[in-house]
Amino acid sequence: MTGGMSGGNRRGLPATDFVRAPELEASPVARVFTDTEDHTLVQRRLGLVYGLFALILGGFFTLALVVSGIVLPARFWETNVSVMRLGHLIAVAGLAAAWALCLGKPRPAWLLAAIDLVGSLAVLTMVSIMIAFAPAGWRTQLMGTGLFVFVITLRAALVPSPPTWTAVVCVIAALPVPLGAYVATLHDPTWSEALFPRIAVLLIVTGWCVAGTASAYAISRIVYGLRAEVKSAMRLGQYTLEEKIGEGGMGTVYRARHALLRRPTAIKLLSPERSGAANVKRFEREVQLTSLLTHPNTIAIYDYGHTQDGAFYYVMELLDGISLHDLCEEDGPQPAGRVTFILAQAASALAEAHDAGLIHRDVKPANIMLCERGGMADFVKVLDFGLVKDMTESESTDAARSSADAIAGTPLYMAPETVTNPKEVDARVDIYALGAVGYWLLTAEPPFEGANLVEVLSHHLHSIPKTPSERLGREVPTELEALIMKCLAKTPGDRPASMHELAGALRALETRLAWSEAEAHAWWHARSSSKKLAAERLGAQLSAPLGPVARQP
C-alpha cells in the first residue's frame, strides 16, 4: 500500500508526493530513539531485556551463595570469591535500576540510549570480573565468551534497533571480556606460559567476541529490516497507519498520523470487494463534494487517494466522543434542553450541505457524534456523507447513475418518499431523518419498529408515530414535540421548508429549554473515566456501513 498515490486534499487539489519528515532524515541510530512509535517500543523492550537479565543474574547470585555455603564453606570468604560476588551484586542492582527506569512514563531519548549501552556493559563487566577473579582451575574463559554471545544475541533479537547501533553496543560491551580472560590467567598459579601463551587466550576470546558481535549484527539487521518493511507496508502517502480501530461492510478504519504534522487522523480504506471502478469513482466524487463543507459541526475531510493496488481511501479528523445512538443506549432518554442543543448544531451543519446542493441521505443517531472540542462540551459532529447526493449534477452523469436510482438510507430513519420516489428526493429527506433522530434522543426509541424491513418501511409510509409524550408516559415541552412531529410529516411540504428554518426554530427553543454549560461539563466529567471504551465505540461507529440499505426499487 505504498507509493503510486494519487488523491486530493481539503480543497480538492491533487495530493502532493511524499515529503520526508525532518526526523526521518536523521541517522537510523538517532531515529530509533526519536520516532514516537519506535521510542515507545524500544523503551518497553529494553525494560523486558534488562529485567530478564536482572532476574537471571539475581537467580544465579542466590544459587551461588547457597552452593558455596554448603559445598565450599571454607572458601566462602576468600578475597577472590568476595570480589566476584560484589561484582555480581553490583551488576544485578544496575540491571534492576535499568528495568525500573523503563517502566512508566516515556523516557528521554538520551536516557534510553544510555540504558541500552550501560545495561549491556554492566552485564559483561560482571562476567569479566567473574572470569578475572575466578579461583584457579575453573577455566572460566569459555564460559565468559558464551555468556557474552547469549547477552548480545538476546538483546539484538528483542530490541528493534538499527544494526549499526547494535554493533556499537556490542563492541563497547565486549571490551572487558578479553581483558577479564587475560587477567584470569595471571591469577592462575597452575598456568604454563610454555604450554599455552596468555596472548593466545586474549586472541581466542577476542575472536569469539567478534564472532558474537557479527551474529548480533546479522540478527538485528533481519529484525529491524522486517519491522521497517511492515512499517513501509502500513504507509499511505504521507500517513502512517498505527492501529485498526474499526471494520465494517464498506471498509476498515485505522488510526494514523501525518509524517510532518504528527496530527492524529482516521483513515477509511475501502474494502477490496467495494474497490471496483464504479464504486471507487463514486466514492472519490462523494469525498470531493464533502471536502468542500467547512461547517465546524461537519467532520473534516483532510485528504484522499488511492493505494498502489488501486484501493480508495480518505483521511478525516479523528474524534473522541460518543454517537447519539450509544448515548441513548447507555443513558436513556435525554433532557429536552440537551436534545434541542444537539439538534440545532446538526441542523446548521446540514443546512450548509443543502446550500451546496448536497443531501446527506443517511442522517441517523450513529452518524452524529457528540464530542468535547476546544473546551466546549456537547459539540456535535455530523459524520459519514457516504450516501451524499449532489443536486447540482444531472441525472445523466455516470456518477449520478451509480446511485440515483437506488433506495439509500437506514430504514429506521428513512423518509417515505425515499421508498416511493427515490429519484426525486430532495433536502427534506434529511429534515425527516433529523426529526427521527430528535425522536430517538427524547425517547431512546426510533419512531417506528418492525419485525422486518418491509414492516418498518410500511410504517414510514402509512403510520403516524406516537408522540414522544405518549411514548414516555410523561410530558415533553410542547413546542419541541410539535417541531419534531412536523419534521416527521409524511408529505414533504408539511415539514419545515428548509434546514435553515428548522435550525432557526431550534435555536429559538434553546433560550427556553436551556441546557447549561455546567450540566454538559458535568456529564463529560462523569464519563471521562471510560475514555478507552469510548475510543473503541468510535472505531466501531466510523467503520459502520455507509448505507445499510441500497436496493433497486
Distances in Å between the Cα of 405 and the Cα atoms of 8, 286, 358, 421 are 28, 16, 16, 9
Report how far residue 487's alpha carbon sits from residue 468's, in angstroms, rounded to the nearest whole number.
13
**Which DSSP letter does residue 220 get?**
H
* Segments in 133-241 forming alpha helices (H): 141-158, 163-174, 176-186, 198-233
Report how far residue 390's alpha carbon sits from residue 400's, in angstroms, rounded to the nearest whole number.
8
Residue type, 7: G
Of 35, 38, 326, 362, catalytic: 362
β-strand partners of 303: 9, 315
- How far the first Cα of the chain sits from its last, in Å, is 37
Report how far residue 368's alpha carbon sits from residue 380's, in angstroms, rounded to the nearest whole number.
7
Contacts of 187 (CB under 8 A, 6+ apart): 80, 132, 133, 134, 136
Query: What is the grid cell recorded at 5?
Result: 498515490
384 has catalytic annotation? no
For residue 202, report the phi and psi dihedrals to the nearest 5 degrees. -60, -45
Cα within 13 Å of Cα(150), Cβ side: 14
Cα within 13 Å of Cα(401), Cβ side: 4
Task: Name which of 266, 263, 247, 246 is nearest 255 in CA terms.
Answer: 266
β-strand partners of 165: none
Q: Which residue has the cell 523516557?
A: 107
C-beta of residue 467 within 8 angstroms of C-beta of residue 481: yes
DSSP of 495-541:
S-SSHHHHHHHHHHHHTTS---HHHHHHHHHHHGGGHHHHHHHHHHH
C-beta of residue 419 within 8 angstroms of C-beta of residue 429: no
3-state helix, strand, coil in the chain (%, to 5): 60, 15, 30
Report how far residue 96's alpha carbon sits from residue 54's, in angstroms, rounded to the nearest whole number.
6
Task: Name which of 63, 53, 59 is nearest 153 in CA terms.
Answer: 53
Crossing angle for the helix pair 36-71 and 109-132, nearest 10 degrees?
20
Report how far residue 229's alpha carbon sits from residue 43's, in angstroms, rounded to the nearest whole number.
21
Catalytic center residues: 362
